[in-house]
């Protein structure tokens, strides 16, 4: 059962043992608190916001309540800041001499001012309980400051050796996942977009293999794994297959953000004719009938024209053809009001047909569906 306990610590307690490096992330509270775990976003408070935190402390005003989570027993350190990360970082960075306030860093302040800062009390709520309970609670309290996104919350709930190792690959601005996938994956590592995409791909892959999985269930199942090697390996396989079979210089603009894992799972055992693919893709990119360029790669792999969002006949052409046909469907010979008929390409796009009045016929909806199903 989840418990939420209020504790009070001082700035002095928090900054004791403060470290900030790429290997450990940001830690304080004698090494017992992950202020900013290595897998979370990098420092994002502006200078003005940092200054406001110090102003609040020096004036004795209350800072907003902060929330910590008690981690699993095999986590590297027992506590993690869930909400209040940027306020905590601002205090630690100031005491550590990383920025000045009113043209003075901490060590230039009079001793009484230093003591006022160090003795300032912080109100903390510590949450401990089952993962599902903590997940729901975090979503509830994640409403102030710079809210955590869903993946950052998941990282906190399922903290353990798996997430700790995954952050090395997916969650730093210079991580391997970013270097490999910056042209193909949307977002930034520090907001957990690359880790979330890797987990999304892996969960879908597991589901396609017959093991119904979600991001949350995958993280729960692997929370205590010694590493995230399988996740990192699959992510690399997907992107390396993509880079090998498609010319990134020419096509990255229409490929970024696609569900590449879906196509990898379906086609990685197929020997693709990359020269023919490139020629077909280039032709489609120049085709004004194609309204969705991001559907070109799915189309050349699957042949599904719906991916392309091909041009439809505009209303003026359809109305003119409907009048010319005297409201008669040429397939069934029945008369229909305009709203019960649809514009159809006489010569399909795949056979070179264009969206022009000469290639338009108005069919009743039933006949058009029957033709489309052939």
> Are 52 and 80 within one domain?
yes
Q: Are residues 254 and 173 in the same domain?
A: yes
Render 156-201 in DSSP notation, one character per residue. Answer: HHT-SHHHHHHHHHHSSTT-HHHHHHTTTS-S-GGGTHHHHHHHHH
My answer on whether 173 and 250 are in the same domain is: yes
Task: Specify if 277 maps to a domain.
Answer: no
- Distance from C-alpha of 305 to C-alpha of 353, rounded to nearest angstrom: 14
* Predicted local confidence at residue 39, as pLDDT: 47
Domain annotation covers residue 89: yes
Res 84: pLDDT = 86
Domain that holds residue 14: 3-159
**One domain, residues 8 and 154:** yes
Which residues does 329 contact at the CB level (< 8 Å), separation at least 6?
Answer: 335, 336, 341, 362, 363, 364, 367
Residue-wise pLDDT for 210-238, tens only, equals 999 999 999 999 999 999 999 999 999 99
In this predicted model, which residue has the larger pLDDT, 141 or 72? Answer: 72
pLDDT at 172 over 90: no
Q: Are residues 74 and 217 in the same domain?
A: no
What's the pTM? 0.68
Helix, strand, coil share (%) of the chain residues, nearest 5: 50, 15, 35
Last residue of a domain, one of 159, 176, 203: 159
Q: Could you give the number of structural domains in the chain? A: 3
**CATH number of residue 362's parent domain:** 1.10.30.50
Query: Do residues 357 and 265 share a domain?
Result: no
Question: Does residue 199 carry a pLDDT above 80?
Answer: yes
In a domain? residue 354: yes
Which residue reads 């608190």 in tokens? 33
Tell me the two tokens of residue 156: 């906190």
Q: What are phi and psi of 157, to 5 degrees?
A: -65, -40
Same domain, 52 and 195: no
181, 129: one domain: no
Query: Where is the domain boundary, 235, 270, 305?
Result: 270
> Is residue 363 domain-resident?
yes
Same domain as 129, residue 77: yes
CA distances from 19 to 15, 16, 219 (A): 9, 9, 28
Q: Is residue 302 part of a domain?
A: no
- 308 located within any domain: no
The CA distance from 309 to 263, in Å, is 19
Which of the listed residues 136, 159, 182 is the one where a domain comes to its end?
159
Tell me if 16 is assigned to some domain.
yes
pLDDT digits (tens, 9 = 90+) for 246-295: 999 999 999 999 999 999 999 999 999 999 999 999 999 999 999 999 99
pLDDT surpassing 70 at residue 147: no
Q: Are residues 7 and 134 in the same domain?
A: yes
One domain for residues 171 and 77: no
Q: Is residue 153 part of a domain?
A: yes
| Mean pLDDT value of segment 306-333 | 94
124 in the same domain as 16? yes
Eight-class DSSP state of 139: H
pLDDT at 327 over 70: yes
């Amino acid at each position: 059962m989840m418990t939420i306990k209020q504790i009070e610590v001082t700035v002095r307690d928090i900054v004791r043992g403060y470290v900030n490096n790429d290997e450990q992330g940001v830690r304080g509270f004698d090494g017992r608190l992950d202020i900013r775990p290595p897998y979370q976003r990098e420092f994002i408070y502006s200078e003005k916001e940092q200054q406001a935190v110090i102003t609040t402390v020096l004036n004795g005003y209350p800072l907003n309540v902060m929330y910590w989570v008690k981690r699993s027993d095999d986590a590297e350190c027992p506590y993690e800041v869930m909400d209040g990360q940027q306020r905590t970082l601002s205090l630690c960075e100031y005491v550590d001499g990383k920025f000045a306030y009113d043209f003075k860093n901490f060590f230039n302040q009079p001793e009484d001012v230093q003591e006022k800062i160090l003795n300032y009390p912080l109100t903390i709520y510590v949450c401990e309980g089952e993962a599902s309970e903590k997940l729901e609670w975090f979503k509830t309290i994640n409403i102030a400051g710079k809210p955590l996104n869903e993946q950052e919350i998941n990282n906190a709930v399922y903290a353990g050796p798996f997430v700790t190792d995954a952050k090395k690959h997916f969650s730093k601005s210079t991580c391997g996942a970013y270097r490999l996938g910056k042209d193909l994956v949307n977002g930034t590592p520090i907001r957990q977009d690359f880790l979330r995409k890797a987990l999304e791909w892996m969960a879908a892959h597991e589901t396609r293999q017959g093991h119904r999985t979600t991001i949350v269930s995958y993280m729960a199942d692997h929370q205590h794994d010694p590493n995230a090697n399988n996740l990192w390996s699959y992510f690399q396989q997907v992107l390396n297959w993509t880079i090998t079979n498609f010319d990134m210089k020419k096509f990255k603009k229409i490929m970024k953000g696609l569900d590449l894992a879906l196509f990898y799972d379906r086609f990685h055992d197929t020997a693709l004719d990359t020269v023919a693919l490139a020629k077909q893709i280039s032709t489609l990119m120049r085709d004004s009938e194609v309204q969705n360029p991001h559907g070109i790669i799915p189309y050349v792999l699957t042949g599904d024209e719906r991916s392309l969002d091909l041009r439809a006949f505009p209303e003026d052409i359809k109305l003119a053809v409907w009048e010319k046909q005297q409201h008669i469907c040429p397939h069934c010979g029945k008369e229909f009001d305009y709203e019960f008929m649809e514009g159809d390409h006489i010569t399909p796009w795949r056979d070179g047909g264009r969206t022009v009045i000469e290639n338009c016929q108005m069919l009743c909806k039933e006949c058009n569906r029957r033709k489309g199903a052939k």
